Each structure stands twice: as structure tokens, then as C-alpha cells.
Amino acid sequence: MPAFLLAAGLCVAFGAGSLAAPQPAQAMDSAPAAEAPADSQQVESEAEAREVAATHNHEVVVADQSSPNVLVKARPDGYMEAVSSQVPEQAEVGGVWTAVDTTLVEKESGYEPKVAAVPVRIGKGGSPLIVSVKSESGDWVSESWPYGDLPVPTVSKSVAVFANVLPDVDLRVTATKAGMREVLVVKTADAAADPRLDEVRLTIKGARLVMATETDTMQAHTGSGDPVVAATPLWWDSSHESASAESPGAVEPKAVEATVDGSQSVLDVGAVTDGDVTYPLYVDPDWSAYLQYDWYTDRAYPNQAYLNPPENSVGYGIQNGVGYLSRAFYRFDTSFLAGKSVSSAHFDVVQNWANSCASTWTQLWQYGGSAVGFTWNTDPGLWVRAIDAQAYNNGGPCSPNPAWVGFSATPTAQDAATYSAPFIVLALRTADEGNSLSRKHFRWDAKLTVTYNSRPNQPANPAMTAPSRGCSTDPNNPSYVYGKAKITMKVNVTDPDTDQLTAANFFLKRISTGAVKTTPTSFQAQGANLTYTIDPASATLSAVEKLVDGEKYAWSARGSDNIQDSATDSPWCYFVVDSSAPALPTVSIDTSGGARIGSPLTATITPAPGEQIAGYQLWWTDTAKTSSSPAAPVTSYTTELPGCGAGVVGTVRVICASASGGATVTVAPIANPSTLWVAAYDKAGNVSFDAATNSSAAGAQVDATLPLDLSGGHLWKADTDPPVGLSDVIGTAAVTMGSFNGWGTDAGENDPQLTSVGLTALNRYVKAGVGHATEVDGGQVPGYTLEFPVGHVARYGAGSKQPVNSQVLYACKYGVGNMLSTSATCEGTGLTGRPLGYDWKTAADVPSGYQAREIFRCRIGTDYFVSVVPACEGGAAVEGSRGFVAVYVPTTTAAGVVDTTKSFTVSARVKANGGSEAQTIVSASGATNAGFYLQNSGGYWQFCVRSQGATLMTACAKGAAIPATPRFVTVSGVWDAINKQVMLVVHDEDLTEATTTSYTPPADDKAATGAVVFGAAGSGSTPLQILDGQIADVSFYPVALPRTALSQVPVPAP
């Protein structure tokens, strides 16, 4: 009777070809082990299984990768092993994969196996129920006897025998690993003559019966769609003594005609008895429910399919005058092998019978993907290659006992891994299909055992990290390195098995000799940088590691997981050792059209012959050229080459050399005279040097004139009230008076000044759905956005002085926001307030020149916020006044006074009253931040230029400390857009000090389009960093003025 089999997808075809066996990895030291895991025979994941197996030296089952047909284990040697079985070999019981035990035990619903991957229930008799089989989806499919109630069966081990279901006809039902087998045992010719055997109608319930046209076998389709598949019904007689109800032995089984009639499967047993048969006669229509298939084809019956028989026939033999030639096929689940590296694979099957003592060869073939259960005539002929051959004669006259026999299947398993094939088909056929002594029978429950590992991936991200050189894979364009310092190379080695530790073998090759030094690393967790360092000071260097100046070398790396090496090495990275400083370049500047300070000229730089120049450092001095150059700003780039394409690295202007090693660059003289100095650096990072002149740079002197008459600059002088607007090349810009304390005079200062009280902005922030917070002067609360500027308060902290009749405002952390309070203890809440600044107790106390604004504390639930609305907006509870703040109005020009993308100079006479926070003297307002600002930065003079495009960059030149005793100082900022230089010049009591830094604006920079702001930083609509002090004689020029011009008092000279 039928054997139920769950239908699965078709096999995937492989291409022919062999794969090289993996080579063993070189042994390397391992990282320190973590705490040992507890011992167990089975764990959930592969990572855990590997750890337990290695620690406790035994195989460990991987639960989440195993199935009824596949058992996956981690081995102590680091390999994985999977046994893919033709029939289910294990079932999950209580979360543990347990060997299938088909011994029948009596249950209320019938007889059931002790441990079953495919549950079955054999009837107890007293009803027509023969057996029920459970499909993978959980649906039960039952089969009933058509001729009344069955007797109570006799049960022994896995077999239940219903005796005399018809006279001298027994029904033998066996629980198998795949489901069940039924055998009708017809004992006598009289029994065979019973007309009821002409059409044995077995009723199927719980599924719809159909015939599979490809195999002429029945399928029972359950309501969930999972089919339960019948094997080809077979019969054999007792014409050979080896035949039994369990096996046909030497007898060649033949198919029984089967049809479907509604819900009944119909077997024509009567047709079997018409011939010359020897009783007892066995009829085997099985049903199974498992995921894999086996079948055979036979030339004697070329249109007959033999799907999932109890035995598969192979080879040629003659019986009763009929010549049988068969080939057997087994399909195995190999989904677990995707991407793996196969160490070995073997196919094992029980050989039940051989027709001779001759040692005839049986071949194992790799077969392509096809439909299952095809016939001799429909065989698509997808024979890929023979992979092994063995000459077993088990079950034959000379070795009568059945036995397991094995074949190597490694190439096919590796193909499955390479092509991620979910299934493979292995086929058995005799080597000599004309030899009648080659006939053999093989049992259906074959196994494929595979030992495998995930080879490490190709080492990734190879780079020389010290010095920073990356990896040049072009031997004609190698990297260059300084050979007198440590050289470190690194790679990352990953493995598809993410729990595996990995290591690398580094290979260093000297190109001229071909000599190679191999250096292994220790094992590390994946993601770590695996490194190899050559230390020239080491006493243990190999001959290859003793790097020679001028020699070319290459390095590569191979990954390892301590089981196998990566299939592919990292690419060779080439480098040349160079530890010598290059000769000085030559530099010339074209002044044929005249030279003006700040105006562009073209400089041409030529390298010394034979040098491998990467780039140049450029800087100006406002002196004549000397016989010995100043020291280069950076004396070595051997650790890391500068990003010359950026134009500026740190505070140094650098430019890239062209392919020929030279360069052409636009420069502008900075004084009269001034000298452009150029130092070369080579591809190893060595900076040029000439011992004869003790020089690191070549110089070119330029004699230049001033750019224009200084008296034509734009000077805002506070000679009258209100101030006047002056017109010049910058444009007309009237100064609008803001919240300064009016015009004043200072002893010793000729011109009137604007006086500013140092204030800081008080702002309200909000976080949608959360609450509010209060902060000062641009400080931000993470996750909050500025809601509106409340006003200004006097600064709190070192160097600040509390104004008359003022009070401290505190921010008290409350929930996720804060609460504004005038109490240092946050009004008895147990919190400590954080000082924000001083506000004033009455409106009259607010400094002259500023509008007073009263502020209130409001609350909605636990959300506190500050407001300028006495009744509090949004229906919030009013918690009273918290004093008065000053409303600061900045003093500004009209918009567009200065183009911050071009050269300009800004200067002012300033008297700063101290303070540790940033205070701005003059700034150019931008959309979101100032385009430039001249300021007191925490007690030091500073000038900064800031980009205005999407790419934000800031460059600052920071100078001397502000005087401890406040006095007027001339402070100037210069942006030299041609020389890419930011300069701060401070003239204090006849001493002039200049500080410079190089700066290359981003490509998307644009001009700050707002007004020039006096005494504060212009950032959007909120003035910040308000000056505490006095300002006089603010002036602008649309050129980069020389330092000498900025030492006059005031600038420019009246």
C-alpha cells in the first residue's frame, strides 16, 4: 500500500568540475578564552555549539539548524558535521532532537511509535480504520479497510498484523521512520482467487486523492495544501528464499496497477495472481510523509515509475528470463551547505542483496536537477559526473548479510555549497551495464554525511596605518614610506560563522629578490584590526624585514579561523622605502605686470630632478629673502601625508604636486618687501632640506606697493551723534544706533567711543510633547529647539560683577526640562540651581540705553516655562514675576557691507573689561551664524572666518591675552583669500603681534549677506556674545592689509 511523502521542490542542477581540497591553516596563537560554557549534548545556536564542543571535547547538536532529516553538529576540531538522511532520523521531543524510535506503544487513539518525526496511528481493530498519518501541516490522513471491521492486531516492535482480513490474507502494518508501510500477505492460491482482491478499495479520509501524472503515483492533498504522497505499489512473491514481508530479497519486485476512484485508492491485486507466482505473495502499497525522495528506473519496464520503494535496484541481472537493468536515485537536503567549504562528504546506504560473489563495480554519480520519480524512458539524462566507485558484494552468496556501504561524495557536496543548492541528487549505476552479475538492491534509508566549515572571507580593508598610506595595488605606482620608523599594516578578517575568532598570516615580499617573510597574528574577535608591525629598532628582524632605502616591497594577508585559510588572499600592496629628504625646489614669481600687496601673482614651483614629490608647503614672511630659510612649519609628514587637495592642513597651506612633480599657484604679496617660501615634501613624507645653506625651503622675494591710499578706507568714527555714513569702495553703510550706553570719552583716547554692558541672551527652548527649558547665550538643550529669545541678563561667573539691585536666575533641573528660579536651592525642592545670569529687580534698575522687560514663570502640570506675558499663554498657571531682563538692540550697518568670500581687513580700537566667556567686538551677520567675528575669546584676542554654505567650517587666529588692566588696544583681523590665510594683528602700546593660520573655504561657501554688527555676534535674529567694554574707530578695507599698516593708531591713519 502507499507510503505518504510530503512533496518538496525540485533539485538544482550543478555544473561539472572539481574543486581543490582546502589546505590546513597555519597554527597561530589564540586570544585568551572567556569563561568556560556549561557542558551539554545539544544547544540552540551554532555559536554556542562550537564553544561547548571545543571546551568539552565532544560533538554538540545545533538545535536551530537541525530537522527530522538533517542533524547538524559542532565537532571539537572546529568543523561542523551534518547528516542529511533520506528518511527522518530524529524528532524534536521537549525541545531536544531525539532519535526516532518506531516501537509501537498502545494509546487511546491507537498504536503509535515511541518517538516519531511523522506521527502515525495504527487502528486497534473493531473498526475499518487501518492507519492515520499526520502531514507536516498537522492534518491527519486516514486509510480504511473496505471489507468491514478489522480484527484486533498482533503487535510486535514496529509491526501490527491484522490476521485474516480476508481468508488467508494478512494485513501487515509497519511504523517506519518516514511514516508507515502496509503489506498484504496473500498466503495461498485459494486466497488469491478471492474476487475481492481484484479491486482492493482503500478509503482515504482527510485529503483529496489525485494521481501524479509524472510518476503514476497517488497523492493525498490535505486542506492546508500539504500533499501526502504514496509510493509506487509493488508486489513480489516467495520464489527466492530471501524474500519476506520486509524485503523482496533476490526477487525483482513489480508494480501493482493503482487508480483513483473518488476517495478510494484502487489496487488490482487480482492481476498479480494471474501469473506463475510462489506463495506467500506480498503486495506493498505504502504511504509516507517526509521531505526527501528516492526512486529507481528499470529498462525491463521502461514506462513504470518506482517512487519511494523499500529497496532500490541497481545494475543488470536476468531473472525468469527477463533482463533487468536499473539505476537508483536519492535526493538529499543540502540547504545547510550554502556558502560553506566542504572538507569531506560520504554517501552511505545499506546493500541488501547482490546477485553474485563477483566484485562488480557500482558507481556513484552526481545527477542534475529534475523532477522526481521519472521512468527509464523519461530519464532526462542529467548525468554530471561519476564521483566514486566501489565493489561491494554484501547480501550476495559469498557475503549474505546486508551491510552499510559507503561512497565518497565530496565534489557534489562542494558544488551544493558553491551554488547554494537546496537539494542534490546522487545516483547509483553499475560500471558495466552489460554484466549480468552486477545486479544489487539498496535500502531506501540512505544518508549523506558532510563535514564542512565556513572559510574565512578574503581579508578586507588592507591598509598601511603607520605611516598612513592605504594600499597601492599598482606595482608601477607604489606607496612611499619612511624606513627609519615603525611600519604597521592591517587587515580585517571576517568569517560567515560570526562567532569564530579569526587571524591573519601576513606576507612581506622583497620584489628584487622574491624573498617572502610570513608572520602570523593572534586570533581575535571578528571586527578587530589584525596588524603586522616592522620595527627597525628590533634585534630580531628577518633579512626581508631589514628594509633597504630605494627598494620596492609588497605585502598581503591570508585569513584563518584556525580550521581553514581564506580561499583568496588580500591583494598585494606595493611600497618603496625612502628615508632621505628631497632637495630644495626652485620657485619663481611673475611680477612683469607689477606687484601690489594683496593682489594676485603666479608662482611656479619646479622640483629637483629625480625627486618623488607629493606636494609643497607655502608661507610668506614680511621680510626680504635671507640666505638661510626659516624652518618649515611642518618638518616631517612621514607619519601621515597631508590632504593637499584641501589646500590647508592644520595651520599650514599645502598644495599638491602635479604628475611631473611641479606646481603652479596663485599668491599675493603681504608686505613690501615680502618673501614666499616653499618647502617640498616627497611621497614618503620627508621635507626638503639643503645642508649647505641650512635651509628647508626655497624663497622668492617680491617688492610690492600698497593696494590703495589708506585714507580712502571705510572708517566709522564716532565724532558726531548720530554717527555719519561714509562712502567708499565697499559701499554706503549708515550705522544704526542700538543699545549702547551712548557716546562717551576715555582719557587718552582721542575719538569718542560706544560703551557696551556685557550681557548674555536668555532663551526659551521647547521639545514637542515633552516640555520646556531655559538656557543662556546660544547654549542648547539636547533634543530641544529655540522657541524665542526672552531678553538679556548680566553675565554670571569669573570676572563678572553683579549689577546693582539685581538677582541671580537659576535653572533647576526638573523632569526632562528645567524650571527658572531665583532660589539657589530651587525653592526647597532639594535641587541645586545652576546660575544663568543676573536679572534686575525693577525696570528702573535695567541699564540706561536698554528696554526693560518683565519675565514670568508659568506652569502646565509639571512643565515649567518662562514667559513675557503676565497672564501666561496657553492657559498655564502663573507662578509670579522673576524680575526684569534687558532687551538688547544691536548697533549695525546696513546689509551687505562686506563680501566675506573675498579678501578684507577689519580693525577697531577696543577696551575690554575682561570676562572668561566669548565677547564679540565686530561681526558680519549671516543666515545662521556670523561670517566673521573679531572678539575677546575667554581673555584672548581672536579673529575667525566662518563659511556660510551647507559645509560649515571655521578658521581662527588667536593672539595675545587682553590686558589685565583694561586699556585701548588696536585689534585687526585680516582674511587673505588669495593666500588662504587668516591673520590677527594686535597693536598694544607700541608692540605689534601677528598670528596667522591657513584656511581653505569649502567649495559651496558664500558671502554673509547680513549687516555688520558692533559689540555682538550676528547669528540669525538673536544677538549673542555681547561685549563688555568700549569700541572706537571701526574700519574696513576690501583688501588684505599688511601688518605694518595695522600698527597705526587708529587704522587707517586720519
pLDDT digit string (tens) for 240-259?
777 777 777 767 777 777 77
- The Cα–Cα gap between 430 and 386 comes to 11
Residues 1036 and 905 in one domain: yes
Whole-number pLDDT of residue 1036: 82
pLDDT at 214 over 90: no
- The Cα–Cα gap between 318 and 190 comes to 30
Reference 973, options 948, 991, 955; nearest CA is 955
**Placement of cell 571545543 in the chain:** 54
pLDDT at 859 over 70: yes
Burial 672-699 (b: 16+ CB within 10 A, else e): bebbbbbbbbbbbbbbbbbeeeebbbbb
Reference 436, options 511, 285, 324; nearest CA is 324
Give the residue numbers spanning the domain of 234: 99-289
Mean pLDDT for 971-981 is 94
Residues 313 and 417 in one domain: yes
Residues 876 and 899 in one domain: no
Q: What is the DSSP letter of 468?
A: B
**What is the helix (H) or strand (E) element at residue 48, kind and residue range?**
helix 46-56
Residues 883 and 894 in one domain: no
Residues 254 and 323 in one domain: no
Residues 358 and 447 in one domain: yes
Single-letter amino acid code for the residue at 910 = V
- The Cα–Cα gap between 298 and 314 comes to 9
Q: Among 401, 431, 453, which residue terminates a domain? A: 453
**What Rg, from alpha-carbon coordinates, does the chain have?**
47
- The Cα–Cα gap between 698 and 628 comes to 9
Reference 141, options 200, 186, 203, 193; nearest CA is 203
Whole-number percent of the chain with pLDDT over 70:
88
- The end-to-end CA distance of the chain, in Å, is 119
Residues 1007 and 1028 in one domain: yes
- The Cα–Cα gap between 700 and 591 comes to 11
Q: What is the DSSP string of 924-935?
A: E-BSSS-SEEEE
Residue 151 lies in a domain: yes
Q: Among 547, 577, 607, which residue terminates a domain? A: 577
Phi, psi of 318 (to 5 degrees): -115, 130
pLDDT at 737 over 70: no
Residues 130 and 256 in one domain: yes
- The Cα–Cα gap between 552 and 554 comes to 7
Residue 59 lies in a domain: no
pLDDT tens sequence across 450-493: 999 999 999 999 999 999 999 999 999 999 999 999 999 999 99
For the chain, give the longest Cα–Cα distance.
Answer: 142
Task: Tell me which of 1019 and 1039 has the higher pLDDT.
Answer: 1039
Q: Is the peptide bond before 536 cis (omega within 30 degrees of 0)?
A: no
Can you read off the three cell numbers belonging to residue 801? 560683577
Whole-number pLDDT of residue 9: 28
Contact 431, 440 (CB under 8 A): no
Poorest-pLDDT segment among 191-200, 426-435, 490-499, 870-879: 191-200
Residues 249 and 114 in one domain: yes
Whole-number pLDDT of residue 610: 94
The count of other CB atoms within 10 Å of the CB of residue 566 is 24
Whole-number pLDDT of residue 709: 52
Residue 896 lies in a domain: yes
Specify the CATH number for the domain of residue 1012.
2.60.120.200
Residue 87 lies in a domain: no
Please provide the average confidence, as pLDDT, over all residues in the chain.
Answer: 86
Can you read off the three cell numbers belonging to residue 579? 628615508
Q: What is the DSSP string of 676-714?
A: EEEEEEETT-BBP-BTTTTBSSEEEEE--B-SS-GGGSE
Whole-number pLDDT of residue 394: 92
**Placement of cell 593660520 in the chain:** 997
Q: What is the DSSP letter of 56?
A: H
Residue 114 lies in a domain: yes
- The Cα–Cα gap between 308 and 230 comes to 8
Mean pLDDT for 675-685 is 97
Q: Among 289, 314, 348, which residue terminates a domain? A: 289
**Placement of cell 607655502 in the chain:** 618
pTM above 0.75, yes or no: no
Poorest-pLDDT segment among 346-350, 457-461, 895-899: 895-899
Specify the CATH number for the domain of residue 547.
2.60.40.10
Residues 488 and 523 in one domain: yes
- The Cα–Cα gap between 745 and 143 comes to 115
**For residue 450, how far is the Cα from the chain centroid?**
31
Residues 554 and 597 in one domain: no
pLDDT at 25 over 50: no
Specify the CATH number for the domain of residue 352.
2.60.120
Mean pLDDT for 555-581 is 96
pLDDT at 1016 over 70: yes
Whole-number pLDDT of residue 224: 65
- The Cα–Cα gap between 175 and 620 comes to 96
Poorest-pLDDT segment among 118-132, 179-193, 491-505, 776-790: 776-790
pLDDT tens sequence across 26-77: 444 444 555 789 999 999 999 899 999 999 999 999 999 999 999 999 999 9
The domain tally of the chain equals: 6
Reference 905, options 471, 558, 551, 597; nearest CA is 597
- The Cα–Cα gap between 460 and 472 comes to 14
Whole-number pLDDT of residue 216: 67
**Placement of cell 473498526 in the chain:** 127
**Placement of cell 612581506 in the chain:** 508
Residues 219 and 353 in one domain: no
pLDDT at 576 over 90: yes
- The Cα–Cα gap between 1028 and 911 comes to 9
Whole-number pLDDT of residue 12: 27
Residue 94 lies in a domain: no
User: Which residues fall within 8 angstroms of residue 631, CB to CB, at 6 or more apart?
Assistant: 696
Residue 489 lies in a domain: yes
- The Cα–Cα gap between 580 and 691 comes to 12
Residue 916 lies in a domain: yes
**Rama region for 777: left / alpha / beta (φ>0; ψ in -120 to 50; rest):** left
